[in-house]
Structure 1
């Protein structure tokens, strides 16, 4: 199976609104390893159309991004609006809701998926600690910030029982959904590229 790439996008709304993009690659089958190729965080001024345009440009111009499935966190209004803006541009994002497992949440639409926050946060932090999730070749302030966050997700004394999704900021959430999708995705990653060609738009979204 070809390596799988996922671009996770999350927006945090509030006093210090931020938008974060993280690209995770799953290398090979068998005993998989994961690489964070890029992670960026920037203040978000609320302009969803500008952010969608930026993502569209990345898909067209950057090699890792062009091969990525786009996964957008849609738990808030801006995330939902971003997913719609991307779709209007011919990009078919996976709409992801991050929920605690004990909430028993279900997708709110046929084109949505629900990510089990507790299980995936535990897996993500363990992958980072165990070396199966590593940062890419270039050390940046944003990459250091993400590594530090992942290193503190699990308290060694409680074996993950205290993990909470609300601990994560936009960057952590973008990494979470990108890691989750790259681990779950089994299809040929070029399927999205072929599907996005003019005249091939479909209402179906891989999940």
Structure 2
């Protein structure tokens, strides 16, 4: 069985300047006899105050060194967050090699455009990837033991319902587009999970491999190489 983990990290600065952080660990697996990968929300951790980028990097380093994550985890960080660049640098200083993504809002951003600082990714595109995994029955959500995981599950369900509404409102491209704009306005839990889901659908099971040269634009269930 092919098996890998993807840790999405998003940071939101609170009014008192502390770092509000969500870490979402997404598990990806595929039976040798199956052609479609399946995903599971393995762990959701939220910190009202994640400390400094250095202390957060120490925590992430310890987290991915645990079983079963060690050697099989891809870390993806939202560099667009206020403390994102400092966290990326802190992780790199510890010998980790995070995928660097800058989440943006608004139209005109592709589903994943590489640049010298990583990948620029539309928030709505990443959220749509997460919601479509759920709609296609490829995403298991079993961790409801914490408020963070429950809040994330509600967010994913709401995003899936938004996509259902957009699919039924195709009278004009403008109508569908305005419906999906709400996917840009999600909380730190959803951004963290969406980063993990996007990276998981873009990467092979080998964490040493780079992102595919041409990131996907189709629904995850329609892709041929997973």
Question: TM-score, normalised to structure 1's length?
Answer: 0.80
Tell me if 1:22 matches 2:27.
no
Q: Is this contact kept in 1: 2:104–2:121, CA < 8 A?
A: yes
- In the TM superposition, what is the alpha-carbon distance from 1:26 to its structure 2 partner? 1.8
Cα deviation per residue 1:98-139 (whole Å; 9 max; x = unaligned)?
224723378685250122333332232132234211124663
* Unmatched 5+ stretches in structure 2: 168-175, 212-226
Tell me if 1:181 matches 2:199.
yes
- In the TM superposition, what is the alpha-carbon distance from 1:57 to its structure 2 partner? 0.8
Would the alpha carbon gap of residues 47 and 180 (structure 1) be closer, same or farther in structure 2, given more than 3 Å must change? same
Would the alpha carbon gap of residues 165 and 23 (structure 1) be closer, same or farther in structure 2, given more than 3 Å must change? same
- The equivalences for 1:1-207 within 5 A come to 2-15=2-15, 17-28=19-30, 30-44=35-49, 46-64=51-69, 66-100=71-105, 102-104=107-109, 109-136=115-142, 139-153=145-159, 154-155=161-162, 156-159=164-167, 161=177, 162-163=179-180, 164-186=182-204, 188-189=206-207, 191=208, 206-207=210-211
Q: Is this contact kept in 2: 1:71–1:96, CA < 8 A?
A: yes
Give distance in 1, aligned partners of 2:135 and 2:55. Answer: 36
Cα deviation per residue 1:71-121 (whole Å; 9 max; x = unaligned)?
000002301110110000100111011224723378685250122333332
* Unmatched 5+ stretches in structure 1: 193-205
Partner of 1:200: none
Give distance in 2, aligned partners of 1:174 and 1:36. Answer: 12
Give distance in 2, aligned partners of 1:5 and 1:120. Answer: 17
Partner of 1:203: none
Would the alpha carbon gap of residues 81 and 108 (structure 1) be closer, same or farther in structure 2, given more than 3 Å must change? farther
Give the aligned length. Answer: 193
Q: RCO higher in 1 or 2 (8 Å CA, sep ≥ 6)?
A: 1
Give distance in 1, aligned partners of 2:50 and 2:44. Answer: 19
- Secondary structure at 2:76 match in 1: strand
Q: Is this contact kept in 1: 2:109–2:120, CA < 8 A?
A: no
RMSD, aligned α-carbons = 2.6
